[in-house]
Structure 1
C-alpha cells in the first residue's frame, strides 16, 4: 500500500464545495470517481481545508492510500484526462505513511479577491466578488490587525460549524489595493466554518464606513454571531495552500500568478517584478 498526496486546483462556482454529499456534485465526489477509474479500485480521500459551495482552490492538498503502481507524471496526466475542465491535479507525490493531509497541516492560507466599482463585471462573475460602495483601505487594515493572534472567533463561525473549539490563531492578515481591486490574505493554524466569509462581511462594513475599526474588537469580545455583518459572497474566496513539515516535501502554492490571470494585477512582492 502506498500513500499518495495530490495538489488539486478547482474553479468552485459549479460545485457544492469539497466534501462528498449524497447528491454528489462536489469536488471530492468527482475526484474520487476519477481516482477509481484511474486505479481500477475504490478510493477514499482525505483533505485539508474543506471548502464551501462556490469557493475555489489553488492548491488543496489531498491524500489517499492505494496499491496502484503508476509514475508520478502518469498520475497527473491520467487523472486530468478523467476530470472536468473546472478541476485539475497540479502535482502528485508519494509520501510516508505518517503523512496526513489534515492532521499533519501546520497552517492554512486563503486569499479573497474583491472588486469595488459602481458596475459589476460579467467577465469576473463567480471568480471575483464585487461591491459598488467605495472602500477605505486604511480602515480595513486597522480593523484586520485586531484579529491577529489567538482569539475566540465565535462571532465569525457558522451555526453549522462542528469544530470542538472556536479558538483559532490568526498568524497573518494583509490587505492590498490596486485600482478597483482589493486582495485580502488570511493565514491561521485553522479556520472555522464560514469564518473568512464572515470576517469579510465585517471588514467590508468597516471599509464602507458603516462601523469603525474598533468594531472588530467589540465582536471578538461579544462572541455572538448575531451581532456581526452578514456572511459575504463565496465567489472571491480561494484556498491558497496548506503548510506542512518540510520532510514531507509538499509543494507550496504560489497564488499571485493565478490571481494575476484573473485580475491582470500584481500584488505584494510580485508587483515589484512586473
Structure 2
C-alpha cells in the first residue's frame, strides 16, 4: 500500500468548505469521488487544512492510500480530467506511509485580499473583500507586526470546545498595496478557527482609524474574542502554501 500526497488548488466559491458534511457539497467530497472513479474503489482522502465555505486554496495538501501501480506523478494528470474546473491538482507524489498532512508539524501561509476602491469590481468579487473607504496601509502593517512571535491568540479565534491550546507562533506578516489591491500575508505554525479572518477584520478597524495599531497588543493580552474586530468575509482568504520542514520530500 502506497501513500500519495496531493497539492490541491480550488476556488471555494461553490463549496461548503473542504470537509465532507451532510449539508452541502465540499471540496473533499468531490475529490473523494474523483479518486474513487479513477481507481475503481472507494477512496477517502485526508486533508491538511479544513478551509471554510467560500475560502480558496492554492496549496492545500491531501493524502490517500492505494495499492494501484499508476506512477505517483501521473495521478495529478489523471485526477484533473475527472475534476470540475474549480478544483485542480497541482502535483502528486509518493510519501512515507506514516506522513499525516494535518498532524505533522507544518508552516502555513495565508493571504487575504482587500479590494480598496470607490466602486466594487464585479470581476473580482469572488476572490477579494471590497471596502470603499480610505485605509491607512502603514498603520495596518504596523499593527500586523505585533502578531509576530509566540502568543496566545484566543482573542483572534472563534471558540471551539475541543480546542484548549490557543498558543500559536507567527513567523512573518506582510501587508502591501498595489494599485487598488491590498494583500495581507501571514505565515505561522498553525491557525485557530477563523483566526486569519478575525485578524484581518481587526486590521481593517486599524486601517479605518477606529483602532490605533497598538490596540493589537492590548487585544492579544486580553484573551477575549469580544476585544477583536469582526470576522472578515471568507471570499478574500486563500490558503497559499503548506510546508513540512521535517520531511525530506520538501
Give unmatched runs, 5+ long, in structure 2: none
Task: Out of 198-207 and 69-78, give the one that drifted further.
Answer: 69-78
Q: Compute the displacement of 1:131 (Å).
A: 0.6
Deviation at 1:81, TM superposition (A): 1.3
Using the size of structure 2 for normalisation, the TM-score is 0.96
Alignment deviations for residues 29-79 of structure 1 (CA, whole Å, 9 cap, x no partner): 100011111111111211212111100000111111111221234312221
CA distance in 2, matches of 1:66, 1:22: 26
| Aligned length, in residue pairs | 250
Give, in angstroms, the shift of residue 158 of structure 1.
Answer: 0.8
* Structure 1 residue 161, shift from structure 2 partner: 6.6
1:22 matched to 2:34: no
Conserved in 1, the CA contact under 8 Å of 2:74 and 2:92?
no
Match of 2:99 in 1: 99
Q: In structure 1, the residue corresponding to 2:62 is in which secondary structure?
A: strand
**Equivalent runs, 1:76-95 vs 2, <5 Å:** 76-95=76-95
- Could you tell me which residue of structure 1 aligns to residue 51 of structure 2? 51
Equivalent residues of 2:9, 2:90 under 8 A apart: yes
Structure 1 stretches of at least 4 aligned residues deviating more than 4 Å after TM superposition = none
**Structure 1 Cα separation of the partners of residues 63 and 42 of structure 2:** 14
* Residues in 1 aligned to 2:132 and 2:219: alpha-carbon distance in whole angstroms: 25
SS of 1:8 mapped into structure 2: strand
Structure 1 position 106, deviation (Å): 2.3
Structure 1 residue ranges without an equivalent (≥5): 251-274
Q: Distance in 2 between matches of 1:233 and 1:34?
A: 29
Equivalent residue for 2:236? 236
Alignment of 1:105-254 (within 5 A): 105-160=105-160, 162-245=162-245, 247-250=247-250
Q: Report how far residue 169 of structure 1 moved.
A: 0.5
Are the aligned partners of 1:108 and 1:241 in contact in 2 as well (CA < 8 Å)? yes
Bigger mean CA deviation after superposition, 80-89 or 104-113: 104-113
RMSD of equivalent CA atoms: 1.4
